[in-house]
């Protein structure tokens, strides 16, 4: 049975866990799930819980309604007020940057399901995931320059590594919407699927990741993400050390036994 965590006042972001699958749902569909201060507080509390749990095997991030996330809720950013201007650097330092770091560091695979538009910081959050599955009708938009800003949420670091500098710069400078199929072709996301197959495809991937050897998945993530910053010798040393560690796990023994017995392995994240 799926259990909700939180109270009625926490409805801006929902969190539930069932059979090792954690689900974070951005839940302001009337605002296209635009990020508010209350959502930041709620996401921080959810990540606190995730970091305490030892029963998760995979984590899903998705939006309620017809959008994934439209970015920062600009209704909380009045620019007409008199007095000292709003310090956007403080907003990043206190809220967005910690959120980016914590989502990147969750100790289970993070799957993002982009069910609709992902714009600005919403696109940034989506691209932080280990895998992104998008509905064919979804679009990713770096809308920052449209309001006189530059990309944040780690986008300026991550996107050139995903799709190359020419495409990343073109997307950021124009603010053009990139359809899901184009994002897939560019290597920005893992998969774009027909809208009718979106939910079933996401659920199938969640089951696949939940049943996989979690330690091996996390070692793979660590090796591939850090490869951008290491030379070949350092990468070979990391592969050696991680294979040594993984070779001592119960999941490795189960994987080899299942292969020899021609059966499906039963991994337990041990």
pLDDT reading at 4 higher than 70: no
The token duo for 256 is 């080899």
pTM metric for this prediction: 0.91
How many helices (H) and strands (E) the chain has is answered by: 11, 11
Give the containing element (helix H, strand E) for 157: helix 155-163
How much of the chain, in percent, has pLDDT values that exceed 90? 83
pLDDT at 111: 98
3-210: CATH topology is 2-enoyl-CoA Hydratase; Chain A, domain 1 (3.90.226)
Query: What is the arithmetic mean of pLDDT over 27-45?
Result: 96
CA distances from 126 to 79, 117, 189, 243 (A): 27, 11, 9, 30
**CA 188 to the chain's CA centroid:** 13
pLDDT at 36: 95
- pLDDT tens across 220-247, in order? 999 999 998 899 999 999 999 999 999 9
Q: Where are the domains of the chain?
A: 3-210, 214-261
Which residue has 């909380």 as its token pair?
76
Torsions phi, psi of 256, nearest 5?
-65, -40
């Amino acid at each position: 049975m799926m259990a909700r965590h939180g109270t009625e006042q926490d409805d801006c972001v929902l969190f539930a866990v069932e059979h090792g699958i954690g689900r974070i749902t951005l839940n302001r569909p009337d605002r296209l799930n635009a990020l508010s201060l209350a959502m930041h507080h709620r996401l921080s509390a959810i990540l606190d819980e995730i970091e305490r749990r030892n029963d998760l095997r995979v984590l899903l991030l998705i939006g309620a309604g017809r959008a994934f996330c439209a970015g920062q809720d600009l209704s909380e950013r009045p620019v007409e007020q008199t007095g000292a201007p709003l310090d956007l650097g403080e907003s990043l330092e206190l809220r967005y940057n910690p959120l980016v770091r914590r989502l990147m560091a969750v100790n289970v695979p993070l799957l993002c399901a982009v069910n609709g538009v992902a714009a600005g910081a919403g696109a940034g959050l989506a691209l932080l995931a280990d895998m992104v599955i998008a509905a064919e009708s979804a679009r990713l938009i770096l809308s920052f320059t449209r309001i006189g800003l530059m990309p944040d949420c780690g986008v300026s670091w991550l996107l050139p590594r995903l799709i190359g500098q020419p495409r990343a710069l073109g997307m950021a400078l124009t603010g053009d919407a990139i359809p899901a199929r184009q994002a897939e072709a560019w290597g920005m996301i893992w998969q774009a699927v027909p809208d009718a197959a979106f939910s079933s495809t996401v659920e199938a991937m969640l089951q696949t990741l939940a049943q996989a050897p979690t330690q091996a998945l996390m070692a793979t993530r660590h090796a591939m993400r850090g490869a951008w910053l290491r030379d070949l010798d350092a990468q070979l040393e990391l592969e050696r050390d991680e294979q040594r560690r993984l070779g001592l796990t119960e999941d490795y023994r189960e994987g080899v036994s299942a292969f020899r017995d021609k059966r499906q392995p039963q991994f337990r994240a041990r």
